[in-house]
Structure 1
């Protein structure tokens, strides 16, 4: 009995630590003062100011940059990651283990180390500042995660299927594109979603490599620059709340569709 109560309490504490800060942001988004008070009651002024604030044009520009960089880098990362994972999987056991361990290094390494190393690389080889550096940096950052997402799918495949396709007359490229890639499609989709999310969420690599003279901002760098000078206001709490609700809605729809698909069909008598 005590063990069961402690187990439930542990779960509730973890959930509170995870979601209490988000709930506080949503609550404070209904305040019309920047000192976290409700002297004038709840208000929708923060949400109305999204359409009238002087920050809105720069915010929309930053959002456009974020989506553009995330879209390009995630697509390229997914293509590179998929073919790299297939190549790694075709190696011998020892070579595959070595390459998989090397792929883990950028993932477990500190992001600030990767950001600075990318900056030194771009400066040394005179890459142009701006979108080129940001997209290449995000591709380098996201590709290992895509490989990590696809490798378990490849490991679960029956190698005889690929060999059977070759025996039936398909060349290696056709066997890979018509047989192997469709079978690992869920892993590829997961890798793309992960790459897109990581790219959108990234701050350190973007902040260090965007270039001081370009004026390019993503959502994270613009929020940081504005909050550092003017502090956080209900305007930002409203923006954060909208982002959370949109992401939560997408997640719920995806989970609902997945649960509908996996429901066993009733036998027709």
Structure 2
């Protein structure tokens, strides 16, 4: 124990402290100034909830938030379903014809810039509308497709790493007792993957909710997501209302992370028989 504490030299502690200050001082200042009554972002006058009340009267922000929430939720579930199958195949079925192409297609969205993905999907939808009449206009569905394409790869990587850690003897025992492979997957494998599925859903939800580039290419009139609204307003100048909105997001994300960690810890204890 003493050796562990001795390894933290003053230089290391100071470096770590500077790093945390660099990361969290801007966030703390943003939260503090969200309770500022002044219209100037960097000039403090007195405590007020003025900008939180202004959020409730901002119809554009509320509509954009609702759209982003619907797309992110749908993208999270679709990405978990598709990414789970993709990750399971990558982990368990490593040798089949075309495995290299399959792996490349699954991991491509991780390395291809979002700008390229957005342009490619935009051209695809334009050509599809020309020849098939769908989509008639870009909106929620086209944004959802783009987000699922991006997020599915992240979920597949998470599930793949978790599947490789599983003990295959448990599934083999179930097969020996007469269970079908499909029943083994849903009854045994999926419960053991619950933590990876929760982590994958949270990551997919966050990536979708926070996306700007793909949404900018795939959105149309009347389908502007919240990040696009925020980006367009910030370009015109800093607004204290954005500080209040960011503070609400920080609070929601913090609560969500704490709840998710507790759920995952409880699931881990149950699996370990604790």
Structure 1 unaligned regions, length at least 5: 264-269
The answer to whether the Cα contact below 8 Å between 1:85 and 1:151 also exists between their aligned partners in 2 is yes
The answer to whether the Cα contact below 8 Å between 1:69 and 1:131 also exists between their aligned partners in 2 is yes
Instruction: Please tell me whether residue 23 in structure 1 is matched to residue 32 in structure 2.
Output: no
Structure 2 unaligned regions, length at least 5: 1-5, 270-274
Instruction: Please tell me whether residue 199 in structure 1 is matched to residue 171 in structure 2.
Output: no
Partner in structure 2 of residue 182 of structure 1:
191
What's the CA shift string for 1:58-112, capped at 9, x where partnerless?
A: 1111111011111111111110111122222232358767644543321122221
The answer to whether the Cα contact below 8 Å between 2:84 and 2:155 also exists between their aligned partners in 1 is yes
Q: 1:37 to 1:183 in 2, by over 3 A?
A: closer
Q: Distance in 2 between matches of 1:150 and 1:242?
A: 31
The answer to whether the Cα contact below 8 Å between 2:55 and 2:61 also exists between their aligned partners in 1 is no
What are the within-5 Å matches in structure 2 for residues 97-246 of structure 1?
A: 99-100=102-103, 102-126=105-129, 127-128=134-135, 129-211=138-220, 214-229=221-236, 231-246=237-252
Q: Distance in 2 between matches of 1:261 and 1:8?
A: 34
Q: For residue 37 of structure 1, report the CA deviation from its aligned partner.
A: 4.0
Please tell me the root mean square deviation across aligned C-alpha atoms, in Å: 2.6
TM-score for the superposition, normalised by structure 1: 0.85
Q: 1:118 to 1:194 in 2, by over 3 A?
A: same
The answer to whether the Cα contact below 8 Å between 1:134 and 1:206 also exists between their aligned partners in 2 is yes
Partner in structure 2 of residue 77 of structure 1:
79
Q: For residue 164 of structure 1, report the CA deviation from its aligned partner.
A: 2.0
Q: 1:262 to 1:143 in 2, by over 3 A?
A: closer
